[in-house]
Amino acid sequence: MKFYCKLKKVVDDSYDIEIGHALQDTLIDDLKNGLLGNVKKFAVVTDSTVEGLYADEIREKILEAGFQSDMITIPAGERSKTRAMKEYVEDTMLESGYRRDCGVIAVGGGVVSDLAGFVAGTFGRGVPFVNYATTLLSAADASVGGKTAVDTPLATNLIGIFNQPKKVYIDISAWKTLPRKQLSSGLAETIKHGCLGDSELFEYLEKNIEKVFENDQAVCEYIAEKNCDVKYKVVMRDERESGLREILNLGHTVGRAIETVSDYKLLHGEAVSIGLCAQARLGERLGFISHENVLRLERLLLRAGLPASVPKYIDRKALVKKLYTDKKVRDGKLRFVFQHEIGAMEQFGENNYGREISEREIADVLEKM
């Protein structure tokens, strides 16, 4: 005997991304106007660096607006993006009386938005959340797409869900408080977007990249908008990464592996920068990109304060072995996505953007970096 359960789901996960300066009051007005429905209790999830800079003020404003709110602070850094820390946030919410009628406000960078978005997607089988992005990296990488995840000892981002926020706030004023290394880290993802889908953005960065470190308002606003635009055009066509969305992993096969092997001494953007150079050098051997454009990419990364070679302390054999933990691996075979010159991606068949490569090919490239 069979019983057929017809459960056809049609969901509108659309949301706004607001780019501006000092958006705290905008967030509060949106909450008052029902952005998260009838929710009156908000868990503000942040990290130890952002807590005093922005999260305290946001929580105070939430309380002043007549809502309930609690602060949950995790240690700053990639090491906090774990299943254990997710459990800590959930247990803290439960102990504070949070149930299905709450909302989550993520205030911080990519680690906070990834972790808080994952918590929101599973807490009470799902509660609404918003992202208040305070870093260039989160503005470039975490604000569009709804990917939420935690790291494991094996590799980064292996456990997670797709969970779209109700709204994202990109507060460019917050970039003024970022250390130079954090700005550089965010620029890696920005340069990646130019490589994979916007030659105009890449050329703009070649002319203006130093102005990001000077907090030039026009330049910061331009790259914030361009990052959203490039990523949205991909996510809109492939929300669940069935094919095209793989191109957003440009530079990440090596990048994620080296981030883990370095024991997170390298920031995410620094690791991605090395990964971008690796795929470009391998891509040149395969005829996907000219030597001149490889040099343009490496020069731009160096100007952004990013590495273009593998640090000496990295064990090359361990790095190559770690490549096999990448999510693009199929049947135990390494797969890479490659840029086509600058501003486009290579395609290897219908809805296929990954190319199988041998371990020897990438090992040889990494050995020479």
Write out pLDDT tens, residues 13-26.
899 999 999 999 99
User: What percent of the chain clears pLDDT 70, i.e. is strictly above it?
Assistant: 100
Q: Identify the burial level of 232 via C-beta atoms within 10 angstroms of its C-beta, where 0-12 means exposed, 13-18 middle and 19 or more buried.
A: middle
Tell me which residue of 364, 167, 171 sits closest to 284, measured CA to CA: 364
Residue 329, pLDDT score: 85
258 and 272 Cβ atoms separated by less than 8 Å: no
pLDDT at 175 over 90: yes
> Mean per-residue pLDDT for 280-292?
98
Query: Taking the CA of residue 116 as centre, how many other CA atoms within 13 Å lie in the half-sphere pointing to its CB?
Result: 31
Taking each helix axis from N to C end, the angle separating 217-235 and 180-197, rounded to the nearest 10 degrees, works out to 50
Please give the torsion angle defined by the CA atoms of residues 201, 21, 235 and 319, in that order, rounded to the nearest 10 degrees.
Answer: 70
Strand partners, 96: none
pLDDT at 141 over 90: no
DSSP track, 183-218: HHHHHHHHHHHHHHH-HHHHHHHHHHHHHHHTT-HH
Confidence of residue 242 (pLDDT cuts 50, 70, 90): confident
pTM of the predicted structure, to 2 decimals: 0.92
193 and 231 Cβ atoms separated by less than 8 Å: yes
Residue 42, pLDDT score: 98
pLDDT, tens only, 180-189: 999 999 999 9
pLDDT, tens only, 32-61: 999 999 999 999 999 999 999 999 999 999
Residue 142, pLDDT score: 76
55 and 44 Cβ atoms separated by less than 8 Å: yes
Collect all residues with Cβ–Cβ distance below 8 Å to 33 and sequence separation of at least 6.
none
Residue 1, pLDDT score: 87
Look up the CATH architecture of domain 16-177.
3-Layer(aba) Sandwich (3.40)
Q: Which helix (H) or strand (E) holds 153?
A: none
Residue 247, pLDDT score: 93
66 — phi, psi (to 5°)? 95, 10
Query: Could you tell me the two tokens for 258?
Result: 């080296």
pLDDT at 143 over 80: no
Residue 187, pLDDT score: 97
Q: Cα dist. 67→28, 75, 190 in Å?
A: 10, 26, 36
Residue 10, pLDDT score: 74
pLDDT at 355 over 90: yes
71 and 59 Cβ atoms separated by less than 8 Å: yes
Write out the residue limits of the CATH 1.20.1090.10 domain(s) in the chain. 180-367
Write out the residue limits of the CATH 3.40.50.1970 domain(s) in the chain. 16-177
Burial letters 246-259, b for 16+ CB under 10 A, else e: bbbbbbbbbbbbbb
Amino acid, res. 269: G
Residue 223, pLDDT score: 96
User: Per mean pLDDT, which range of 6-10, 211-215, 284-288, 337-341 is the poorest?
Assistant: 6-10
Cα(313)–Cα(193) distance, rounded to whole angstroms? 29
Residue 79, pLDDT score: 93
- Across the chain, mean pLDDT equals 95
Residue 333, pLDDT score: 93
Residue 110, pLDDT score: 93
User: In the chain, count of helices (H) and strands (E)?
Assistant: 14, 12
pLDDT at 239 over 90: no
Confidence of residue 212 (pLDDT cuts 50, 70, 90): very high
Q: Which residue has the tokens 């490889």?
A: 294
CATH number of 180-367: 1.20.1090.10
Residue 298, pLDDT score: 98
Q: Which helix (H) or strand (E) holds 46?
A: strand 41-47
Cα(126)–Cα(121) distance, rounded to whole angstroms? 4
Tell me which residue of 144, 145, 148 sits closest to 126, measured CA to CA: 148
Q: Which helix (H) or strand (E) holds 224?
A: helix 217-235
pLDDT, tens only, 119-140: 999 999 999 999 999 999 999 8
> Mean per-residue pLDDT for 66-84?
97
**DSSP one-letter code for 141:** I
